[in-house]
Chain A
């Protein structure tokens, strides 16, 4: 094998993501796998799956450099270095579209907002505190109440004529409030719109803390929730810029960009 390949692996709480770049910086392969209990196993599974899509690579061990990121980054012993998911999301987004200056990253267990500098580094960031409200876990719990999978729940609110406010900030109390609202025969799409509005409001307050500058994008698994994106656009009075790649792999992509940059330096 003469060509060099660089890997990024984002070990999240819900999924593991991997991205592979070639020496020219082109995306060769990306993948998403469910997270295992052991973050190292998740990272190996994600990287092996991504490597299987590249003819030149037999195993993740053939990668010239690997950067780990995500909550399990410290457990990926074989990675050459680990970089915080905040820096990786900034870099991954910058790689896709350098005009984007603000990110809302809605992951499985936290929400972050990130302001990006002109070189793709982090200017400022904010994270939600010790609470599942507004995270992917929260949306998963909500979708279960509606007896829907995440894809169905994602589009449920799109046709809502109005939004029924969900007042509870806490995920646990929000769950009981939503059950009560549905039991009172409120239209499910309007309750779903209320749930997404509450998540958007949380994102909005985090965005205000870092100073929102256009363009704004959403990364992480929840970026695929169409109802949420629509609700957030309305809240921030600005279009949410779509990314040219799966928004869920942006952290892994940023890690791969760092791997290539630091590996070829």
Chain B
């Protein structure tokens, strides 16, 4: 576990640096609608952008208003400070207005060598997949021309195979959390997952398999009073989960932009890799940016609560997040209507207010009679 923790200390970790030295081309992204498998083709390497240990956003605050979420501001701060200097390209999704402002400012302040906006529709209809195929084809052509990488169907199929193999391992570790006495804590799982998202998959996979072997031999992960699900947008710091678990609530399930439910699904192949990836994007992503998708999201959460025997749900939102902030109001009511206890927490991207977080979580668990 220590290794995975170390991989999260810098936005460009040692495996990442090694891969770059070996000729891999890291492409940064920050939205789940960017299919990871797509950026695993040939020499490409997807890197989920994060800003570990960000101490302040003084410079980014000059360009982005205080009403822009701190995740966006933290990414800009790191970009301005050249903390992403080895990343050779960025793929954005206009998932929210905040991310769009990040793109605008990056273009102006520290223009990446390669940047692309993947225009993802907000509604799933018959035309959506056709649109997404066109978008991914354009991106493939652009990547191929810029980096001289093989984005052919055969190359994409190889990438999808690698992704599917990787996602299946993560899924099987995630399945352990359904047990009545899970052998893995939520903190460990989140650390592993985040490390997986910021490292080259082929290099981290053997280490994940070693961890899987060790964890499967455990009887349990310790004594806990309640089983919790945590959900929200970009939660990158495992310490947030650690504080929740320090109060006796084992986090057995999560639904984050960077989480495993339903994020680490294997890609269902339909003969055409780009079409398969286009369909995959909408299946594996449950985001409040999508129109008329609330019921599907709610059903997934309710099903997860039942499947993982969750006692209560913690909704965490980054302050000023337009999407999750607004969505959470309806979500809290809908879940309570189903008899599911809910705690809503507002936070900043970086950890802070530990004492208050402890008190809220402890009181939440106590209020459930646990």
Contact = CB atoms under 8 A, between A and B. Distances in A.
A130 interface: yes
A74 B356 contact: no
Contact of B362 (A84, A127, A130): A84
B369 interface: yes
A130 B366 contact: no
A71 interface: yes
A190 interface: no
B339 interface: no
B346 A127 contact: no
Interface in B254-303: none
Interface in A240-264: none
B358 interface: yes
Interface of A: 71, 74, 83-87, 110, 121-125, 127, 129-130
A83 B360 contact: no
Contacts of B369: 121
Contacts of B356: 110, 127, 129-130
A125 B362 CA distance: 12
A83 B366 contact: yes
Nearest to A123: B367
Contacts of A86: 359, 362-363, 366-367
B353 A130 contact: yes
A122 B363 contact: yes
B352 interface: yes
A74 B352 CA distance: 18
Chain B interface residue bracket vs A = 10 to 19
12 contacts: A83-B362, A83-B366, A84-B363, A84-B366, A86-B359, A86-B366, A87-B367, A121-B366, A125-B367, A127-B360, A129-B353, A130-B353
Interface of B: 346, 352-353, 355-356, 358-360, 362-363, 366-367, 369
Contacts of B352: 130
Nearest to B346: A129
7 closest residue pairs by CB, A with B:
A86-B363, A84-B362, A84-B363, A122-B367, A87-B366, A130-B353, A84-B359
A104 to B, nearest CB: 16
A133 B367 CA distance: 27
B359 A71 contact: yes
Given A86-B367, A123-B367, A127-B359, 10 more contacts: A74-B358, A84-B366, A86-B362, A87-B366, A87-B367, A121-B369, A122-B366, A124-B367, A125-B360, A129-B346
A71 B355 contact: yes
A222 to B, nearest CB: 18
Contacts of B355: 71
Nearest to A117: B367
A223 to B, nearest CB: 19
A130 B359 CA distance: 13
A130 B362 CA distance: 18
B3 to A, nearest CB: 29
B328 to A, nearest CB: 13
A86 B362 CA distance: 9
A125 B364 CA distance: 9
